[in-house]
Amino acid sequence: MTVPDYQSLMFPLLAFCNDSNEHNAQEAIDALAIQFQLTATEKNELLPSGKQTRFANRMGWARTYLKKAKLIESTARGKFKITERGKQLLKTNHEQKISAKDLEQFAEYLEFKKQSNSNAVNSALRMLYHFGELALQYRRLKPPKLGGLGGFKVT
C-alpha cells in the first residue's frame, strides 16, 4: 500500500480521537500506520527535504484541517482531542470519509481557507513585483544589443 493522502487520513484520525482522551501526534501516527497496514519502509519514507516522513507530514495536514474546522482542538502543546462537533460529525458521517470539501460546511474552515488563498495570492504578487524589479535592474546594467530579438537581426 502507498502512504494515504491527507484526506484519506482525516476520518480515521477523527475516529481515533473519539475516545475523548488527549493524544499526541506520535500516538496517532503509530495507530493509523497499523490501521493502514503500512510497511516500515512506507512509514519511514522521507520527504525530499529529508526532515520529515511523508506519513507524518500527511497526518500533520489532516490534523491541521480538522483543527481549523473545529473537529479537534489543542489541549496543550502537542496534544489534541476531539470536540463535540467532531463527535457529532462521526455520528452522522455514514460514508466514513472526510474530504476538504466536506469541511467547507464549517465557517471557521472557510475563513482559514480564505486567509490561506489570500496569503498565496499576495505572495505570488510580491514575487512578480520583485521579478519585475530585477528585470528592470538587469536592463539598466546590461547594455542593449543591436538587432532584434535576443540580439539576432530580424530581416
Give the burial class of 60: count Cβ atoms within 10 A of its Cβ; 0-12 exposed, 13-18 middle, 19 or more buried: middle
Helix then strand then coil, in percent of the chain rounded to 5, is 60, 10, 30
Model pTM score: 0.74
- Write down the domain spans for the chain: 6-104, 106-143
Phi and psi for 71 in degrees, rounded to 5?
Answer: -90, -25
**What are the pLDDT digits (tens) for 86-123?**
999 999 999 999 999 999 999 999 999 988 775 666 66
> Would you state the pLDDT for residue 6?
98
User: Of 21-30, 56-65, 80-89, 134-143, which gets the smallest average pLDDT?
Assistant: 134-143
User: Distance of alpha carbon 123 from its chain centroid, rounded?
Assistant: 17
Give the Å distances, CA to CA, from 39 to 33, 35, 148: 8, 11, 59
- Residue range 72-94: average pLDDT? 97
> Would you state the pLDDT for residue 100?
96
C-alpha dihedral sign at 48, 51, 53, 57: negative
Does 146 score more than 60 pLDDT?
A: no
Nearest C-alpha neighbor of 5 from the set 45, 57, 64: 57
Assigned C-alpha cell, 61: 495536514
> Would you state the pLDDT for residue 143?
62
- Does the 6-104 domain belong in CATH 1.10.10? yes
> Would you state the pLDDT for residue 23?
98
> Would you state the pLDDT for residue 60?
97
